[in-house]
């Protein structure tokens, strides 16, 4: 699904009928291709094939930006990194889940048994073309990624109900903090919410 001249919602990331809502987004920027989140494990080859169908090569993928490290976001990051040589970025707080310094919610922790994550780097303080916005609550190190007119929201919000709502309570570490983060990011100037769960939706500023 093409959202703008240089931005796509990848169909490969939501191809399975039983789990259609795990979205990731591809951006063509000045450095090459940047992927925001990577969907559930097992979709990496389909993501690479869709990149080819869009007229690019896998080695054009230079960066993966992870909004956070839940399985439906980090699931294909290692495979894509090994296939393309791309860099993978997370926030400093989110990296702590990968090192074991911070524990996940019990239901999430079980999903990571035996999982091998990518080699990651922490987002730099300044990143050309992109704004990395801390939005903790769903996880401690969750971020949104603002690029041009699109806010790549990860699990800061969902649009599955047709409206912009907060993340699912049972998988959110701090619901009040998540609500504060959603209110904060809603005040930013952008045109389109691009969440992991639900389709992109125009931003109606209050």
User: pTM (2 decimals)?
Assistant: 0.95
| Structural domain spans, the chain | 2-202
In this predicted structure, what is the pLDDT of residue 204? 77
In this predicted structure, what is the pLDDT of residue 110? 85
**Strand (E) positions, 25-147?**
25-29, 32-36, 61-65, 87-90, 120-122, 130-134, 143-147
Per-residue pLDDT of the chain (206 residues; tens, 9 = 90+): 999 999 999 999 875 555 456 899 999 999 999 999 999 999 999 999 999 999 999 999 999 999 999 999 999 999 999 999 999 999 999 999 999 999 999 889 888 988 999 999 999 999 999 999 999 999 999 999 999 999 999 999 999 999 999 999 989 999 999 999 999 999 999 999 999 999 999 997 54
- Rounded to 10 degrees, the C-alpha dihedral 66/21/30/133 comes to -50
What is the DSSP secondary-structure string of 143-192? EEEEETTEEEEETS-B-TTSS-B---GGG-S-HHHHHHHHHHHHTS--SE
Domain 2-202, CATH number (from 3.30.420.40, 3.60.15.10, 2.60.40.10, 3.40.50.970):
3.60.15.10
How far is the C-alpha of 203 from the C-alpha of 4, rounded, in Å? Answer: 15
How far is the C-alpha of 87 from the C-alpha of 162, rounded, in Å? Answer: 34
Cβ(159)–Cβ(198) under 8 Å? Answer: yes
In this predicted structure, what is the pLDDT of residue 14? 72
Cβ(178)–Cβ(161) under 8 Å? Answer: no
How far is the C-alpha of 26 from the C-alpha of 47, rounded, in Å? Answer: 10
Beta strand 87-90 with 61-65 is parallel
């Amino acid at each position: 699904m093409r959202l703008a001249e240089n931005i796509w919602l990848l169909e490969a990331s939501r191809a399975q009928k039983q789990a259609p809502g795990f979205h990731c987004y591809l951006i063509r920027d000045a450095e090459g291709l940047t992927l925001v989140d990577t969907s559930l494990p097992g979709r990496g080859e389909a993501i690479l094939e869709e990149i080819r169908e869009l007229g690019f090569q896998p080695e054009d993928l230079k960066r993966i930006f992870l909004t956070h490290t839940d399985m439906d976001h980090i699931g294909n990051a290692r495979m894509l990194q090994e296939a393309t040589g791309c860099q993978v970025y997370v926030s400093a707080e989110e990296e702590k889940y990968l090192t074991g310094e911070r524990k996940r919610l019990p239901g999430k922790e079980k999903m990571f048994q035996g999982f091998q994550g990518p080699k990651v780097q922490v987002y730099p303080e300044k990143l050309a073309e992109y704004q990395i916005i801390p939005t903790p609550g769903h996880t401690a190190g969750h971020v949104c990624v603002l690029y041009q007119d699109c806010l790549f929201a990860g699990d800061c919000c969902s649009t599955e109900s047709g409206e912009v709502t907060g993340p699912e309570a049972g998988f959110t570490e701090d619901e009040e903090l998540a609500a504060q983060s959603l209110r904060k990011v809603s005040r930013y100037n952008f045109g389109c919410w691009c969440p992991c769960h639900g389709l992109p939706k125009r931003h109606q500023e209050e």
